[in-house]
Amino acid sequence: MTGDAALQLLGDVDTIDEHAKTASGDVAADAAMDRYAGGDAAAFADLYDHLAPRLYGFLMRQLRNTTQAEDLLQQAMLQIHCARASYISGARVVPWAFAIARNLVIDAHRRRRREVMLDPDDPSADRPTLDPMPDEVLQTKQAARTIERALAALPESHRLTFELLKYDGLSLAEASEVLGITVAAAKVRAHRTYAALRAAVSGATTSEEGVER
Protein backbone atom coordinates (compact mmCIF):
# COMPACT_ATOMS: atom_id res chain seq x y z
CA MET A 1 0.00 0.00 0.00
CA THR A 2 2.81 2.35 0.88
CA GLY A 3 4.43 1.55 -2.45
CA ASP A 4 1.24 2.29 -4.38
CA ALA A 5 0.84 5.57 -2.56
CA ALA A 6 4.44 6.43 -3.26
CA LEU A 7 4.02 5.69 -6.96
CA GLN A 8 0.95 7.89 -6.94
CA LEU A 9 2.89 10.69 -5.32
CA LEU A 10 5.67 10.46 -7.87
CA GLY A 11 3.22 11.06 -10.67
CA ASP A 12 4.45 11.07 -14.21
CA VAL A 13 7.63 12.77 -15.31
CA ASP A 14 6.08 13.41 -18.71
CA THR A 15 3.72 15.87 -17.07
CA ILE A 16 6.64 18.20 -16.37
CA ASP A 17 6.09 21.07 -18.74
CA GLU A 18 9.37 22.28 -20.16
CA HIS A 19 7.96 25.68 -20.91
CA ALA A 20 5.55 25.95 -18.01
CA LYS A 21 3.81 29.28 -17.83
CA THR A 22 5.23 31.35 -15.04
CA ALA A 23 3.02 31.19 -11.98
CA SER A 24 1.26 34.40 -11.04
CA GLY A 25 3.19 34.41 -7.75
CA ASP A 26 6.45 34.37 -9.66
CA VAL A 27 5.28 37.25 -11.84
CA ALA A 28 4.44 39.22 -8.70
CA ALA A 29 7.90 38.41 -7.29
CA ASP A 30 9.51 39.70 -10.49
CA ALA A 31 7.48 42.90 -10.27
CA ALA A 32 8.40 43.39 -6.60
CA MET A 33 12.08 42.85 -7.40
CA ASP A 34 11.91 45.35 -10.24
CA ARG A 35 10.36 47.96 -7.95
CA TYR A 36 12.95 47.25 -5.28
CA ALA A 37 15.82 47.55 -7.75
CA GLY A 38 14.41 50.90 -8.79
CA GLY A 39 14.49 52.16 -5.20
CA ASP A 40 11.05 51.33 -3.76
CA ALA A 41 12.09 50.29 -0.24
CA ALA A 42 8.64 48.93 0.63
CA ALA A 43 8.86 46.36 -2.16
CA PHE A 44 11.37 44.27 -0.18
CA ALA A 45 8.63 43.14 2.20
CA ASP A 46 6.54 42.00 -0.78
CA LEU A 47 9.56 40.21 -2.19
CA TYR A 48 10.10 38.46 1.14
CA ASP A 49 6.48 37.29 1.21
CA HIS A 50 6.83 35.78 -2.26
CA LEU A 51 10.25 34.18 -1.92
CA ALA A 52 10.82 33.29 1.72
CA PRO A 53 8.36 30.38 2.10
CA ARG A 54 9.73 28.61 -0.97
CA LEU A 55 13.35 29.30 -0.13
CA TYR A 56 12.79 28.17 3.45
CA GLY A 57 11.26 24.91 2.25
CA PHE A 58 14.22 24.33 -0.03
CA LEU A 59 16.73 25.13 2.70
CA MET A 60 14.98 22.90 5.24
CA ARG A 61 15.09 19.96 2.83
CA GLN A 62 18.80 20.50 2.20
CA LEU A 63 19.87 21.24 5.77
CA ARG A 64 17.33 19.49 8.03
CA ASN A 65 18.08 22.12 10.65
CA THR A 66 15.73 25.00 11.43
CA THR A 67 18.40 27.28 12.85
CA GLN A 68 20.64 26.86 9.83
CA ALA A 69 17.72 27.22 7.44
CA GLU A 70 16.66 30.50 9.09
CA ASP A 71 20.23 31.77 9.01
CA LEU A 72 20.73 30.93 5.35
CA LEU A 73 17.32 32.34 4.44
CA GLN A 74 18.36 35.62 6.01
CA GLN A 75 21.69 35.49 4.18
CA ALA A 76 19.96 34.76 0.89
CA MET A 77 17.54 37.67 1.29
CA LEU A 78 20.42 39.95 2.24
CA GLN A 79 22.33 38.85 -0.83
CA ILE A 80 19.31 39.67 -2.96
CA HIS A 81 19.08 43.05 -1.21
CA CYS A 82 22.76 43.85 -1.77
CA ALA A 83 22.62 42.79 -5.41
CA ARG A 84 19.33 44.54 -6.19
CA ALA A 85 21.02 46.99 -8.53
CA SER A 86 22.08 44.12 -10.79
CA TYR A 87 18.50 42.94 -11.30
CA ILE A 88 17.53 43.02 -14.97
CA SER A 89 14.02 44.26 -15.60
CA GLY A 90 11.96 41.37 -16.91
CA ALA A 91 14.27 38.66 -15.58
CA ARG A 92 12.92 35.84 -13.42
CA VAL A 93 13.85 36.33 -9.81
CA VAL A 94 12.83 32.86 -8.55
CA PRO A 95 15.63 30.88 -10.28
CA TRP A 96 18.11 33.53 -9.21
CA ALA A 97 16.95 33.33 -5.59
CA PHE A 98 17.14 29.53 -5.64
CA ALA A 99 20.64 29.67 -7.13
CA ILE A 100 21.70 32.00 -4.28
CA ALA A 101 20.18 29.64 -1.72
CA ARG A 102 21.85 26.64 -3.34
CA ASN A 103 25.22 28.36 -3.25
CA LEU A 104 24.78 29.10 0.44
CA VAL A 105 23.91 25.47 1.10
CA ILE A 106 27.02 24.33 -0.75
CA ASP A 107 29.12 26.71 1.35
CA ALA A 108 27.45 25.49 4.53
CA HIS A 109 28.17 21.86 3.66
CA ARG A 110 31.76 22.71 2.94
CA ARG A 111 32.15 24.41 6.29
CA ARG A 112 30.70 21.74 8.43
CA ARG A 113 29.55 18.15 8.29
CA ARG A 114 25.92 17.78 7.30
CA GLU A 115 23.80 17.32 10.43
CA VAL A 116 20.44 15.73 10.50
CA MET A 117 18.76 17.21 13.52
CA LEU A 118 15.12 16.56 13.73
CA ASP A 119 13.47 17.83 16.84
CA PRO A 120 10.35 15.70 17.25
CA ASP A 121 8.70 18.61 19.07
CA ASP A 122 9.54 21.12 16.35
CA PRO A 123 6.69 21.25 13.81
CA SER A 124 8.86 23.14 11.34
CA ALA A 125 11.13 20.11 11.13
CA ASP A 126 8.42 18.03 9.49
CA ARG A 127 9.57 16.40 6.31
CA PRO A 128 7.76 17.80 3.29
CA THR A 129 4.97 15.74 1.79
CA LEU A 130 3.52 15.68 -1.67
CA ASP A 131 -0.18 16.51 -2.04
CA PRO A 132 -1.25 15.16 1.36
CA MET A 133 -4.91 14.12 1.57
CA PRO A 134 -6.69 14.54 4.91
CA ASP A 135 -7.90 10.95 5.12
CA GLU A 136 -4.55 9.42 4.16
CA VAL A 137 -2.07 11.56 6.06
CA LEU A 138 -0.22 8.68 7.65
CA GLN A 139 -0.03 6.64 4.46
CA THR A 140 1.10 9.69 2.53
CA LYS A 141 3.82 10.45 5.06
CA GLN A 142 5.06 6.88 4.91
CA ALA A 143 5.04 7.03 1.12
CA ALA A 144 6.98 10.28 1.19
CA ARG A 145 9.57 8.71 3.50
CA THR A 146 9.91 5.80 1.10
CA ILE A 147 10.62 8.26 -1.68
CA GLU A 148 13.04 10.21 0.46
CA ARG A 149 15.02 7.11 1.39
CA ALA A 150 15.25 6.26 -2.29
CA LEU A 151 16.22 9.86 -3.14
CA ALA A 152 18.99 9.86 -0.57
CA ALA A 153 20.59 6.95 -2.40
CA LEU A 154 20.77 8.89 -5.68
CA PRO A 155 23.54 11.25 -6.86
CA GLU A 156 23.12 14.72 -5.39
CA SER A 157 22.71 16.32 -8.84
CA HIS A 158 19.75 14.06 -9.67
CA ARG A 159 18.18 14.46 -6.25
CA LEU A 160 18.40 18.24 -6.44
CA THR A 161 16.87 18.33 -9.92
CA PHE A 162 13.94 16.23 -8.72
CA GLU A 163 13.40 18.37 -5.63
CA LEU A 164 13.46 21.63 -7.55
CA LEU A 165 10.88 20.30 -10.00
CA LYS A 166 8.64 18.38 -7.66
CA TYR A 167 8.91 20.11 -4.29
CA ASP A 168 9.83 23.68 -5.21
CA GLY A 169 7.56 23.92 -8.24
CA LEU A 170 10.17 25.22 -10.65
CA SER A 171 9.78 24.63 -14.35
CA LEU A 172 12.43 22.70 -16.26
CA ALA A 173 13.77 25.95 -17.67
CA GLU A 174 14.01 27.48 -14.20
CA ALA A 175 15.57 24.40 -12.63
CA SER A 176 18.16 24.21 -15.41
CA GLU A 177 18.98 27.87 -14.78
CA VAL A 178 19.46 27.24 -11.05
CA LEU A 179 21.67 24.23 -11.70
CA GLY A 180 23.65 25.80 -14.53
CA ILE A 181 22.81 23.04 -17.01
CA THR A 182 20.85 22.90 -20.25
CA VAL A 183 17.13 22.18 -20.26
CA ALA A 184 17.82 18.91 -22.08
CA ALA A 185 20.26 17.82 -19.37
CA ALA A 186 17.72 18.71 -16.66
CA LYS A 187 15.09 16.65 -18.46
CA VAL A 188 17.42 13.65 -18.68
CA ARG A 189 18.21 13.89 -14.97
CA ALA A 190 14.54 14.17 -14.11
CA HIS A 191 13.64 11.12 -16.19
CA ARG A 192 16.44 9.06 -14.70
CA THR A 193 15.50 10.10 -11.19
CA TYR A 194 11.86 9.19 -11.71
CA ALA A 195 12.86 5.84 -13.16
CA ALA A 196 15.20 5.12 -10.26
CA LEU A 197 12.58 6.14 -7.70
CA ARG A 198 9.89 4.03 -9.36
CA ALA A 199 12.23 1.06 -9.34
CA ALA A 200 13.07 1.63 -5.69
CA VAL A 201 9.42 2.11 -4.72
CA SER A 202 8.30 -0.93 -6.74
CA GLY A 203 10.96 -2.95 -4.98
CA ALA A 204 9.61 -1.75 -1.64
CA THR A 205 6.07 -2.75 -2.71
CA THR A 206 7.22 -6.24 -3.71
CA SER A 207 9.01 -6.81 -0.41
CA GLU A 208 5.95 -5.60 1.56
CA GLU A 209 3.74 -8.08 -0.31
CA GLY A 210 6.25 -10.83 0.41
CA VAL A 211 6.20 -9.99 4.13
CA GLU A 212 2.35 -9.94 4.19
CA ARG A 213 2.25 -13.44 2.67
Partner 1 sequence: MNLPSDLKERVLAAAARQDAPTRPQLEARAAMAYAIAASAMAILFLAAGGVEHSQSRPFSYTIGIAAGASAIALAATVAVFRRGRAMLGPSSRAQLLVVLLVPALTFGWMLLWHDHYVDPFVRVGFRCLALTLLLASGPLFVATALRSGTVLRAPKVGGAAIAAASGAWAAVGVDLWCPLTETKHVAFGHVLPIVLLIALGAVFGETLLRARGRRSDDGV
Tell me whether residue 68 or residue 205 sits nearer to partner 1 (CB atom).
Answer: 68
CA angle in degrees (0–180, nearest 5) for 117-119-125: 85
Query: Rounded to whole angstroms, how far apart are CA atoms 179 and 101?
Result: 11
- We find the least distance from the C-beta atom of residue 18 to partner 1, in angstroms, to be 17
Q: What is residue 120's DSSP assignment?
A: T
Interior angle at CA 76, CA 144 and CA 158, nearest 5: 40
Residues that bind partner 1 (CB under 8 A): 37-39, 41, 44-45, 48-49, 52-53, 56-57, 60, 66, 70-79, 81-88, 90-93, 95-96, 99-100, 103-104, 107, 123-124, 128, 177, 180
Contacts of residue 166, defined as CB under 8 A and 6 or more positions apart, other chains included, come to 11, 130
Q: How far is the CB of 89 from partner 1 (least distance, A)?
A: 8
* Nearest distance in Å: CB 60, partner 1: 6
Handedness of CA 200, 202, 205, 207 (dihedral sign): negative
CB atoms within 10 A of CB 107: 11
Burial zone of 161 (CB within 10 Å; 0-12 exposed, 13-18 middle, 19+ buried): buried
Closest approach of partner 1 to the CB of residue 204, in Å = 26
Q: 41 or 211, CB closer to partner 1?
A: 41
CA distance 42 to 210: 60
Q: How far is the CB of 187 from partner 1 (least distance, A)?
A: 17
